[in-house]
Amino acid sequence: MRLFKVKDSGEFTEYGEQSFKSEHDERTLESWLEKNPESIVEDGALLIIGRQIATNLGSFVDLLALDREGNTAIIELKRERTPRDTVAQALEYASWTEGLEYDNLEQILRDYLDNDALSLLEYHRAFFKLGEAEGVSFNKDQRLVIVGYDISPEIRQTASFLRKKRIRATCVEFNYFQDTSKEQLMSVDIVIGKEPIVKGRQRTETRPATDEVKFLSDLEESARPIFNAILAAAKKQRLPIHWGAVGFSINADIDGSHVALIMGYPRSSAYSQMIYTSVPSILTKVKDGQKVADSFKENLAKTGLFEPAGNEMKCVIKQKPTEAQIEALLKILSELAEQIRTNGPVE
């Protein structure tokens, strides 16, 4: 395949196909696919929940993801021609992944995003924009995704055989191009997967944390006042702020242990410019946590900003909150932090 850039003059400049492995390692490919999950499989985007995850056999899954239905996807990457043992390697990872419970998957996601208060169920629902009536059964099935610069005939044949046996295997082949100005292009072709199918806490590499400047720049103007106010109040009251890969949490400190109160997410995250409570953190770490959490949620509802989201409360910021609403929220957070310190930790 030949690719050309069309100049304003109408002339063509050709993108020459390059050897990907000569300038990049597999971590580069991981990063590219991690940021473009819609390009991986044939039936929609994947939610990446972990990268370089250690299995029980001492091997590492390149990328672990979930599809819309909650099935796990094991993504194995090869920057060059796929060797014969690639499928066997992916099947080994799938056999380990099959044993993961919901709590294991949630912890993998929390490690990946560096957020101990994250709810996998709500994050998955927000990422795929699921309706209230759409149920999810996590890890009911596993699917294999092999991505390589050159998918060998042996791998294609084996993957086709697996699909006939109702094992969801997908093979994705990519090509890498550059023009004379070093502008990069990448083509992606699903070579196996378009045809229909016949009917413990693990270590994972974390993404770099964001910071206040990046976070605030990823907000609409309507959301900046409330997030600015929350962060300023937290600093003034010495409430610990933890920055994760995409957002932050505001915490109360009791005897050196941090209890998450709320979490904030920018426009580009799965939660799409939202403030989210952290009820599980309160329930598990604070004495009389249920009473504290119930009062917290009741007070948030009175602001007119928050609405129920399962056992949590969420504030989707679509228009600029009033100054009175912002002041009410800051007062609630200050009182909640003081109540947590007064009650102390669970004995």
Task: Summarize pLDDT for 203-220 with one digit per residue, the tens.
Answer: 556 667 789 999 999 999
Question: Which domain CATH number covers 144?
Answer: 3.40.1350.10
Q: Are residues 17 and 85 in the same domain?
A: yes
Q: Are residues 248 and 146 in the same domain?
A: no
Judged by phi (left if over 0) then psi (alpha if -120 to 50, else beta), residue 281 lies in alpha
Q: Tokens standing for 161?
A: 């055989």
Q: Tokens standing for 179?
A: 């023009």
User: 271 pLDDT band (50/70/90 cuts)?
Assistant: confident
Q: Are residues 224 and 181 in the same domain?
A: no
Q: Are residues 52 and 137 in the same domain?
A: yes
Is residue 83 scored above 90 in pLDDT?
no
Average of pLDDT values for 294-313?
92
Task: Tell me, yes or no, whether 99 lies in a domain.
Answer: yes
User: 3-state DSSP helix/strand/coil percent for the chain, to nearest 5?
Assistant: 35, 30, 35
State which residues form the domain around 260.
Answer: 212-343
Which H helix or E strand runs over 79? strand 72-81
Q: What is the pLDDT of residue 219?
A: 94
Task: Tell me, yes or no, whether 13 lies in a domain.
Answer: yes
Domain count, the chain: 2
Q: What is the pLDDT of residue 270?
A: 78
Q: Are residues 186 and 232 in the same domain?
A: no
Task: Tell me, yes or no, whether 205 lies in a domain.
Answer: no
Is residue 24 scored above 60 in pLDDT?
no
Q: Are residues 134 and 165 in the same domain?
A: yes
Q: Chain-wide mean pLDDT for the chain?
A: 84
User: 64 pLDDT band (50/70/90 cuts)?
Assistant: very high
Q: Are residues 32 and 143 in the same domain?
A: yes
Task: Tell me, yes or no, whether 204 lies in a domain.
Answer: no
Q: How far apart are CA 330 and CA 342, in angstroms?
A: 18
Task: Tell me, yes or no, whether 199 lies in a domain.
Answer: no
Confidence (pTM) = 0.68
- The residue among 297, 296, 347, 305 whose CA lies nearest residue 327 is 305
The b-or-e profile of 226-261 (16+ CB within 10 A means b, else e) is bbebbbebbeeeebeebbbebbbbbbbebeeebbbb
